Each structure stands twice: as structure tokens, then as C-alpha cells.
A = this chain, B = another copy of it.
């Protein structure tokens, strides 16, 4: 009857050990010490955050402090930061008894991931050839947050089914793969991807789905009764949804070009997301016999438009183009929740707790395709001569690049993201199958009880008769 308290210990074939008292502290401490050492060796302030800025300013004829990159990007950085910690964290609180795990492990992944990302991305992107140091500034922090986002997306697929130690391992490899993949896509292939439809969402989603596939739990229906939400947990999840939704324009514009690039990226994302809300609600209502709306769709599918407009946000997608992208993604993503997620679980043996396939994987791929088409269709007429060069960065070794070929490079970038996501996920999934990570048995998934000291509250341990008598006596 799904009543797990009775049968636990009997029906579970593998008695798993979820005690992480040694492994979790060890991983956290050792890796953190490693970070300190590596930061000591490699990481320094860049010229805009170093105390020599005042000299740099003079020697580069910069007239005012306001032209420090900090003032171009810091507000967007803070918005992105909110998306990472509150957005992703609260979006995953929808499960009735896994809110601590959702927020807490999200916090852990992000806290570790951003440090490792600064190093990995630094080695590939901002290694100063003069002194062999990585120079960081506000843009590095945004990029580190972006990198972490891909790992948090992956976490969405395995939410409630893995241990914090597994999550640390997943993040370590995820960030590493991300940095390589990003280097190939952005630097070698010279694809543009300001909002990360390919680099972040496609990669992150397929990475997570592949891991979930490798970690498939055949007896997960023993924890089925804990997969749903309760009224309040759905409201908590809306905090995550809304902060993601609202700040997505900052996400897509955070590392776009100064000036019109950031401006346009914000507008496009704003519009795309607005359209997604309407079609999500339309399809959600249509899918129920009595036209009732489903919170799962509102919480997730409304965000698909932001994902899908990521690559093309800084291009001249045009306002109506953004609306069309948002329109389609709201429909596709909601239909995904209705049809594809159950299909994947049943036939492909991929259990996707948060439905990241609908929210990140499909819209990410769509975003890559939209980006390729928009790039291929770019013309001097629309962008202006200078504008075209600036937007697509047709400079230095790429100065003979043309838009149509750029479209091909964009498509190539999408393929790389897919390969890294799927390939990397399978390999990391194998590693995570080792029986040493302290993950929960199939009948204790989606339960904070396993890794958290829980408060003894009314809802939790259904009061015994004596307790009730006490309570009743003092009632008011």
C-alpha cells in the first residue's frame, strides 16, 4: 500500500548506508583546501578590480570610474546570483518533504561550483600570458554563476535521489566538462551564445538526464507517495519560478556587449517570457477535463521562453520574433510535461524529477536552432556594417566570417553541447553508480529525513494520543 514505515527493512533488497558523516565533511574540506591552494597559485584581480585601476585608467584614457566594467555588469550579476540561489533553489522546493534538500544542496553545489568554475574557465579563457595568472572581475563571477547553473539544471533531474556527496562529484565533473565544452563552442567554433541556450541549458539538461538514466531506480515507486507537492510547497516553488522569470532578461544580457547588446538581449527575453506565460496557461487548461490549471506547468513551462531565446537574445531577433519563440516554447514545454516526461520514465527509464527535459533540454535545443537561423539570416541592412561586426564579433582571425557561415558554426556548437552533455553524463553516471556515495534506498527517496535533522513538528510525526491530549488541554 506504499506505506513505507511498515515495510522498510523488509522489502528493500539492498540495505544502503546513508551515513555521510565521514565522506561529506571530507569532500567539502579537502576540496575547499584545494581551492584555496589553486586560487593562491593562479587567481588574481584583473585590472579593473586591482588597486592599480587608477593607473590603468590614466594610461588608457578612461575618463571616469563609471566606465569600470563593474557598473556595466554588476546589477545583472546580482540578478543572476538571485536566480542561481533563490531561483533554482526554491523552484525545487515543490516536493512535500524535500525542501531542505532542494535549497540546501542547491546552496552546496553552487558554493563549490562557482569556485571551481572560476579556475576552470580561467584556465581556458582568461589566463594572462604575461604572468600565467587568471585575472578575475565581475564578468568572471557572472560566468562562474552561469557554469553553476548548468550543474543545478542537472540536479533537477536527480532531485531527491542522490546524496550530497554524489552531488559534489557531479558538480566537479560538470563544471570541468562545461569549461571544456564552452571553450570549444565559444572560442574554437566561434559560436555566439550570450544567454547560454546551448552552452548552459542544452549541456546541463542532457548531462543531468544521462546521469538520471544511469542511476535509474527500478523500485522508485516505493517513494512515489513523496513525489507530490502540498499546498504550501507549491507556493514556495513559485518564489523560485518568479525570480527566475523576472531576472531572466538579466541572465541573457549579463555578458552581452555593452550598450545595445545588453539592451536588446533584455528586451527580447522580456517579450519571449511574456508570450510563454500565455501559451503555458492555455495548454495547461486545455489538458485537464475541466480546464483547471496545473501548478507544475505554471512553475516550469513559463520559463521555457527564456531558455529558448538565450542564444538569439543579443541578435536582431526582432520583438515579434521573440514573441514567436516564446509562444512555441510555452506550448512545447507544457506538452512535454503532459506527454514526454511520463513516456521517458516508462519507456526510456529516465526519471526526471523536475522535468528538466521540458524546461531546459528541448527549449535549449530550440534556442540553439533559433540562434543558428537568426545568425545565418543576419544582414548588413539590418545590423549596419559596424553593428554586424560587433554583434557577431567578426574581428581578428574571424574578420572574413560571414553570417551564413556563422549560422553553420552555431549549429555545430549545438552538436558539441549535446555530445558533451550526453557523453559526459553517461561517464559521470557510471562513477556515481559505485556503492560508496551514501545515496538513499529506493524507499527513502525524496525525503529530507535521510540527510537532515528535521524539526519535530505536527505535520511530521503525527502526534500520539498523549501529545494530543496535552495539546488539547492547553488549546487557547
Contact = CB atoms under 8 A, between A and B. Distances in A.
A270 B454 CA distance: 29
A126 interface: no
Contact of A245 (B5, B67, B85): B85
A291 B450 CA distance: 10
A406 interface: no
Contacts of A323: 32, 35-36, 39, 115
Q: Which 4 A-B pairs have the closest CB atoms?
A: A21-B291, A111-B277, A51-B387, A53-B260
Interface string A232-254: 11111011001101110110000
Nearest to A231: B457
Given A70-B266, A235-B93, A387-B54, A278 B455 contact: no
A329 B72 CA distance: 32
Contacts of A44: 318-319
Given A70-B263, A463-B463, 14 more contacts: A3-B476, A29-B279, A35-B323, A45-B267, A50-B264, A50-B316, A54-B387, A65-B258, A74-B262, A86-B242, A89-B238, A115-B271, A141-B266, A229-B455
Contacts of A131: none
6 contacts: A40-B320, A45-B316, A48-B259, A70-B266, A81-B246, A294-B452
A115 B35 contact: no
B86 A243 contact: yes
Contacts of A289: 21
A386 interface: yes
B52 A457 contact: no
B451 A471 contact: no
A465 B465 contact: yes
A291 B55 contact: no
A267 B476 contact: no
A400 interface: no
Contact of A324 (B22, B24, B36, B242): B36
Contacts of A250: 78
Interface string A69-92: 111101110110110011001100
Contact of A36 (B35, B245, B327): B327
B89 A242 contact: yes
B452 A462 contact: no
Interface in A435-462: 438, 450-462
Interface in A268-305: 270-271, 273-279, 281-283, 285-286, 288-295, 298, 302
Given A100-B295, A324-B36, A452-B293, A472 B467 contact: no
A151 interface: no
A285 B64 CA distance: 49
A285 B25 contact: yes
Interface stretch (A101-109, A346-354, A407-415, A426-434): A101-109
Contact of A51 (B262, B382, B463): B382
A464 B468 contact: yes
Contacts of A246: 78, 81-82, 85-86
